[in-house]
Amino acid sequence: MAKHELHLKLKGVVPPVVLPLDPGQEIDESGLRRETRFLLDAGVDALLVNGATGEGALLTPEESRRVCEVVVEEAGGRVPVIAGVIADSTRQAIHLGRLAREAGASALLVPPVHFLNLPSRAGLVGYFRDIGREVGLPLVLYNVIPHLNLSPDLCLELAALPEVVAIKQSNDNFHELADLLRRAAGRITVLTAIEDLLFPSLLLGSPGMVVAIAALLPDLCVDLYQAVQAGDLPAARRLHERILPVVRAVFVDENFPATIKAGLAMRGRPVGPPRSPLTPVPRDVEDRIRRSLVEAGVLPAD
């Protein structure tokens, strides 16, 4: 079986679409459409739904399908829509993947199982193989689970699977990103998700980013990507220095992505509360996020 062609299009800036909720914690579909339009108008290259920033693990299967369906409808074929599949068993992952396919997703973003039932290496390979075979969509590996790291060697083994076309390198290990970019060239697309090192990731040769900060700062992320592509490294460095304080402010050890939602409200894009058991951020965290957005130049100083 030939490789899917989607990997040729996976580049540039791929933001997650956050999950707008009403006060009763139900999905706000009008807000979801509004966020989708905003990101498209910012010039992004693809969209991600139902990932960590989109609170995908907190959705029912039916809700995950509807979120994907709404974003696909609103995107109208302008960019691919990638659907996150956050599951703890092969059967569950295949079910979620089929729902995403029915909703019109172009590909799946699949992490290893995230609970503490730890599969062997053979089990992990079988997990991705079976999802790809049964769902029939291209797979983007999501390297984010600390206790099930997808090493460069394992990624190269997984790259032999027909459906595996890319990896989102989210484990904050820049050394492994460098190894992947060197060793995986021509086999799979290596997308950076190391939020505070986007600039050097692009310089090393990553063709794009799949990052939560692009939900909050799509304009700056698109400008950074375009500056690197144009070879304007001084401009890219300045953009990196604007983005970095915001990354530091919103990435905390608990309650993520409530911080992203707080920042969106400050930028005039309110999306409601996070879904329980997440809670709105406290005042001191709000103040920190606001200061970072001022420093980034996207909010006026008080």
State the catalytic residues.
142, 168
Instruction: Measure the CA–CA gap between 242 and 30, rounded to whole angstroms.
Output: 31
> Quick one: tokens of 201?
């990731």
Residue found under tokens 């089990």: 123
Angle made by CA atoms 227, 233, 235, in degrees to the nearest 5: 60
Q: Please identify which residue in the block is written with the tokens 């600039």.
A: 199
Helix (H) or strand (E) holding 226: helix 218-229
Distance from C-alpha of 70 to C-alpha of 165, rounded to nearest angstrom: 25
- Transcribe 2-42 into DSSP letters: PPPSGGGT--EEEPBPP--B-TTS-B-HHHHHHHHHHHHHT
> What is the enclosing helix (H) or strand (E) of 220?
helix 218-229
Position 102: which residue type?
E
d(CA 76, CA 54): 20
Token pair, residue 178, equals 């460098």
Rounded to whole angstroms, the Cα distance separating 90 from 103 reads 20
> What order of strands is seen across the sheet that includes strand 139-143?
12-14, 208-210, 189-192, 164-169, 139-143, 107-110, 81-84, 47-49
Which amino acid is residue 58, in one-letter code?
A: L
> What is the C-alpha separation between 202 and 49, in angstroms, rounded?
23
